[in-house]
Amino acid sequence: MILEIRTYRLKPGTRAEFVRVMREESVPLVKKYGIDVIDCGASLVDEDGHEEAYLIRTFSSLEAHREQEEAFYSSREWQQGPREAIVSRIESYHTIVVEASPEAVQALRR
């Protein structure tokens, strides 16, 4: 199992709306593309005074990760849907992808 953890550094004053759009619009759409979202939300601690958020997803393999992301991010639903509301609030982001056991994934699930 592949676990992806993405952190977002957000533009000032945008976190609440970013998290709302992520949870209410983006995550349901991501799930339509077969991507398993474990959790997303606001960081409890901001680094260097910057608002931050996170997204945790799983994939069955690295190939599935590549294929599902490509299908989602190139989709008309994303491009014409929540994309601008998400992307416009991001200053930068960082992603790591690691192998994880099903038990570890379940422990992270909310």
Angle (CA) 32 33 36, round 5°: 85
Per-10-residue mean pLDDT, the chain, length 110:
96 96 96 95 89 96 95 96 97 96 90
pLDDT at 52: 97
Structural domain spans, the chain: 2-108
Pick the closest to residue 79 from 26, 28, 40, 15 (CA basis).
26
Pick the closest to residue 83 from 2, 8, 1, 22 (CA basis).
22
pLDDT at 4: 97
pLDDT at 86: 97
Q: Quick check: pTM over 0.85?
A: yes
Pick the closest to residue 104 from 62, 56, 40 (CA basis).
56
Fold that domain 2-108 belongs to in CATH: Alpha-Beta Plaits (3.30.70)
